[in-house]
Amino acid sequence: MNTRRGTALVTGASSGIGAAYAGRLAAQGRDTVLVARRAQRLDDLARRLREATATTVETLVADLSDPDDLARVARRAAGDDIEFLLNNAGINGYGPFADLEPELMTKVVDINVRAVTALTRAVVPAMLERGRGNLVNVASQLAFAGALPPHPLPERAVYGGTKGYVVTFTRTLAAELAGTPLRIQVLCPGLTATEFHRSRGDEPVPGREQSPHEDGGMSVEQVVDASLAALDAGEAVCVPGLGDPGPVADLARAELAIRTAARRCGSRPGPDAAGSSTHEEGAHM
């Protein structure tokens, strides 16, 4: 018997991590709102979840790169029943930057950055007012791969940049909201057995059945397991497969060292040194 809980809104729910996460949340007793571009996929998943969990499932067919569609989803996300937001929708736009089609580049930024930010902004005020809520933004381990060369990694300047934004945005928001009842996480999976590499994102993968790429990777179930466990543990950064949290702590220490060194170099001698340093730091943040 399920205990009814607040509603979860899941973007990119038609396959992969989004579909698996929606299934897990429904099994927990949450009603769900499923968002994606592929209507048939959403309808099939909604039917399975209703039959398996007896929960209420809504579907919203939307392309989050379209401003009208994004506004429609944001209005639903702002509803007073939404207690869990999974910002999972994302496209890759892989390829040499000099050859990347401007339209696809814009679409990558719109979905990976603008939609994540807008939907987060839609849910957080209501969650704070109610005193409860969960937010998971899906980034990628490629957010940490900026200086690594392509091959075997993809050519990924725009995609990696957008996922770097998601990491910084979510970590900074988690720090801002520390001490509130909200649980906030950035999920950074590596290669996962999904359809992600079957399309650059300009068009969704066709067909009603999922067709994971042949490159292998972690299963979607393992990714969801890691995310939910980290959420329960209060960890703002989840990297599935990373057993030692040391690298995440090292990253925070390195950032502090960079900021501290920059403040020292930016300060000027004299009675107004402290004020000048503070002013310059704020001006460059």
Domain range annotation of the chain: 5-243, 245-285
List strands edge to edge, sheet with 82-87. Answer: 57-61, 30-36, 5-11, 82-87, 133-138, 182-187, 237-238
Question: Distance of CA 76 to CAs 123, 157, 182, 233, Å?
Answer: 9, 32, 19, 28
The separation between CA 178 and the C-alpha centre of its own chain, rounded to angstroms, equals: 19
Query: What CA–CA distance (Å, rounded) separates 241 from 238?
Result: 9
Residue 208 pLDDT exceeds 90: no
Q: One of 21, 94, 159, 165 is an active-site residue; which one?
A: 159
Reading the block at residue 36, the tokens are 């994606």
User: At which residue do the structure tokens 């994302």 appear?
Assistant: 90
At the top level of CATH, which class does the domain 5-243 belong to?
alpha beta
Would you call 159 a catalytic residue per the annotation? yes
pLDDT at 196: 82
Mean pLDDT, all residues of the chain: 90
User: What pTM, to 2 d.p., does this model score?
Assistant: 0.89
Residue 205 pLDDT exceeds 80: no
pLDDT tens for each residue of 83-133: 999 999 999 999 999 999 999 999 999 999 999 999 999 999 999 999 999
